[in-house]
């Protein structure tokens, strides 16, 4: 049941734009670590499986985004441009003197993909695990979206809660049969904190405000304008069995991605889903190592 760590992590805290951010480090100290950016509702700790499949001499650091894991919550809520500003501030502290190398997943990869076009000289290369944009939206949906958000913020906050880490691990395995019991238990432990109230159990570590609908519509045209300025090589890794696969084929097919990014390699991993780095981290690592083999 217990996942066996191959590389021991260490934790640190840094102040980023007024919020305490938690960092998870692996490998030797370095002023040029590879930065790992987690996805929505995840945290830096769960990169452990992938880290264990990467070279031992790689220095890696994974921050928890604001309101996730061990990083402070933002009382005013969450707005996507803040992640771009947080990433820039983090890179100034973690990789101050050289272009950064980034491995990213889902939401984190969406942030990194935009940032690579906003600051084209700031990155060296980018690994993107299923983080290419969102569905297009229509302006006509704005009134209902604003109304839904206004209704949500009037309601009391409800923390996600489970009786135990084991109960959440069982839920994760039901949702994702590709997740082994030891990894599910590790993820469930990383995603929760002991509840400090009479009800007991464990609560999800991320801020429940993240569940609010975003009242600001996603504008694909703005994302495309950023992507068009990306100059660094990017590896896009997709899971053949991902719930995102149907959308990818319909709206983000390989031809579209290659038109958006000037230097992109696309790899589809058979049998894996959206949480590919939890399901078969060594397959993901193999794709990354092949991509970086000719790159420093």
Domain membership flag for residue 214: no
Has residue 41 been placed in a domain? yes
Is position 17 within any domain?
Answer: yes
Is 158 inside any structural domain? no
- CATH at residue 224: 3.40.50.1820
- Tokens 């703005």 correspond to 222
Cα dihedral: 103, 20, 94, 184 (round 10): -30
- How many domains is the chain partitioned into structurally? 1
Q: Are 113 and 131 in contact (CB under 8 A)?
A: yes
- Residue 145 in domain: no
Task: Give pLDDT, residue 1.
Answer: 72
Tell me the residue ranges of DSSP E strands in 34-155.
34-37, 60-63, 100-105, 123-129
Task: Tell me the residue range of the domain where 33 lies.
Answer: 10-137+219-292
Residue 43 counted as domain residue: yes
Give tens-digit pLDDT for 193-252: 998 777 779 999 999 999 999 999 999 999 999 999 999 999 999 999 997 767 776 778
Task: Going residue by residue through the chain, which has 296 residues, state the pLDDT in tens, using 9 for 90 and above.
Answer: 789 999 999 999 999 999 999 999 999 889 999 999 999 999 999 999 999 999 999 999 999 999 999 999 998 889 999 999 999 999 999 999 999 999 999 999 999 999 999 999 999 999 999 998 888 899 999 999 999 999 999 999 998 999 999 999 999 999 999 999 999 999 999 999 998 777 779 999 999 999 999 999 999 999 999 999 999 999 999 999 997 767 776 778 889 999 999 999 999 999 999 999 999 999 999 999 999 998 76
pLDDT of residue 245: 67
- Decide if 271 is inside a domain: yes
From the list 207, 206, 212, the residue with the least C-alpha distance to 151 is 212
Residues forming a β-bridge with 235: 127, 265
User: Is residue 96 in some structural domain?
Assistant: yes
């Amino acid at each position: 049941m217990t996942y066996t760590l191959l590389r021991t992590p260490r934790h640190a805290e840094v102040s980023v734009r007024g919020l305490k951010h938690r960092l998870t480090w692996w490998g030797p100290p370095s002023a040029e670590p590879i930065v790992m950016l987690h996805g929505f509702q995840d945290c830096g700790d769960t990169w452990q499986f992938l880290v264990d499949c990467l070279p031992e001499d790689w220095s890696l650091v994974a921050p928890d985004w604001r309101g996730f894991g061990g990083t402070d919550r933002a009382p005013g809520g969450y707005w996507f441009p803040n992640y771009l500003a947080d990433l820039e501030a983090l890179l100034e502290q973690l990789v101050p003197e050289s272009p950064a190398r980034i491995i990213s997943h889902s939401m984190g990869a969406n942030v990194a993909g935009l940032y690579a076009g906003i600051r084209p000289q700031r990155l060296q290369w980018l690994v993107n695990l299923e983080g290419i944009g969102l569905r297009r939206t229509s302006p006509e949906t704005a009134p209902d979206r604003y109304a839904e958000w206004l209704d949500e913020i009037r309601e009391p906050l409800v923390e996600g809660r489970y009786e135990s880490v084991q109960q959440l691990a069982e839920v994760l395995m039901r949702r994702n049969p590709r997740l082994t019991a030891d990894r599910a238990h590790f993820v469930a432990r990383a995603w929760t904190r002991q509840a400090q109230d009479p009800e007991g159990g464990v609560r999800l570590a991320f801020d429940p405000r993240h569940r609010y609908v975003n009242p600001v519509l996603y504008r694909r045209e703005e994302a495309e304008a950023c992507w068009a300025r990306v100059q660094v090589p990017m590896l896009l890794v997709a899971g053949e069995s991902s719930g995102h696969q149907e959308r990818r084929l319909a709206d983000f097919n390989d031809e579209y991605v290659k038109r958006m990014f000037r230097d992109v390699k696309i790899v589809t991993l058979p049998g894996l889903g959206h949480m590919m780095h939890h399901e078969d981290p060594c397959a993901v690592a193999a794709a990354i190592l092949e991509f970086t083999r000719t790159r420093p």
